[in-house]
Amino acid sequence: MQIIISVYVWDLNINTMDKIQEIDLSSFLGIEKTTLDFAAELADFAEIVAVGALITNRKGEITAMTTVQMNGAKDKTGFKTSIRTELEEKFSTVVKVIEGSIGDNPGLTAKYKSIMPSDLLRAKDMEVGSMVAMVVTDARSLGTKVNRFGISAALMTEMETLATNYTVADADKRTVSGLATSATADLAKIFDEINKALRAADLVVKPLEGLKPAFFKAWFEARKKQGI
């Protein structure tokens, strides 16, 4: 029952691993089960017992790392994209209204000769917040000149909120992606550690074929999954 539960829990995260790691993991669980099932016969073989203990001890770390990988693998772009699309539409509308409402304001007239309604479409993530703040500030400075075209105080506040949410979503995506990349590297190190320990233990197990045939068979059935 213990092993069935372990397999179930690990299978929840298995889609974050590459195929080789999936195979290794299946073998690790088989080795762990074998060392537990034959514990009474392995009292004099500390190297073999140690491998089973290593796998058991690393389970928590591997589960945690695969959870981080899962979070990194989730689509974090959907929320950002929806905000960006809404901001681009509102930005375009506000810029067009500003251009038609500037009148004799020389500062804004010169400024909006180089600002296009589609500029936010081409902006980098880090530029979105400042560009939205700029047009909102300019729209507010024009007051009733833009209000009559539907550019209300509520709309400008909404744009500021969206821009803030976009910046937060972008930072979150970068952070989660970075953690996932780090977890992937750490996971590879743990798998390498276990595989090295298994290769060393194989040398101890091989002479036991005649002495402990049932254990020998169970061990290499598990190792066979890795082509050993």
* Range with top average pLDDT, 61-75, 92-106, 203-217: 203-217
Say whether both 91 and 145 belong to one domain.
yes
Whether the pLDDT of residue 13 is over 60: the answer is no
69 or 40, higher pLDDT: 40
One domain, residues 96 and 166: yes
Both tokens assigned to 70: 């899962």
- Alpha-carbon gap, residue 134 to 115, rounded angstroms: 11
pLDDT of residue 10: 36
Closest listed residue to residue 90, CA positions, set 156, 141, 39, 174 = 156
Whether 115 and 95 have beta carbons less than 8 Å apart is answered as: yes
Specify the number of domains making up the chain. 2
- Pairwise CA distance, residues 153 & 40, whole Å: 77
User: Do 23 and 191 touch, CB atoms closer than 8 A?
Assistant: no
Q: Is residue 183 part of a domain?
A: no
pLDDT higher than 80, residue 11: no
98 and 167 both lie in a single domain:
yes
pTM recorded for the entire structure = 0.57
Mean model confidence pLDDT for the chain: 86
Q: Which of 156, 177, 198 is the last residue of a domain?
A: 177
173 and 81 share a domain?
yes
Do residue 55 and residue 87 come from a single domain?
no
**Could you tell me if 109 and 144 lie in one domain?**
yes
8 part of a folded domain: yes
Residue 104 lies in a domain: yes
**118-137, pLDDT tens digit by residue?**
999 999 988 999 999 999 99
One domain, residues 60 and 114: no
Residues 81 and 71 in one domain: no
**Same domain assignment for residues 103 and 128:** yes
Mean pLDDT, rounded, for 75-81: 70
Q: Does residue 213 have a pLDDT over 90?
A: yes
Please give the residue that has the higher pLDDT: either 70 or 54.
Answer: 54
Examine residue 134 and state whether it is found in any structural domain, yes or no.
yes
Same domain flag for 41 and 108: no
Binned at pLDDT 50, 70 and 90, residue 75 comes out as low
Domain hosting 65: range is 2-75+188-224
Query: Cα angle vertex 205, ends 10, 223, to 5°?
Result: 35
- Indicate whether 32 pLDDT > 90: yes
Tens of pLDDT, residue by residue over 139-190, are 999 999 999 999 999 999 999 999 999 988 888 777 777 777 888 888 899 9
The answer to whether residue 182 sits within a structural domain is no
Residue 35 has pLDDT above 70, yes or no: yes
> Is 84 contained in some domain?
yes
Angle at 129 between CA 127 and CA 133, to 5 degrees: 120
The reply to whether 71 and 83 lie within a common domain is no
- Residue 50 in any domain: the answer is yes
Same structural domain, 37 and 49: yes
> Which of the listed residues 157, 177, 197 is the one where a domain comes to its end?
177
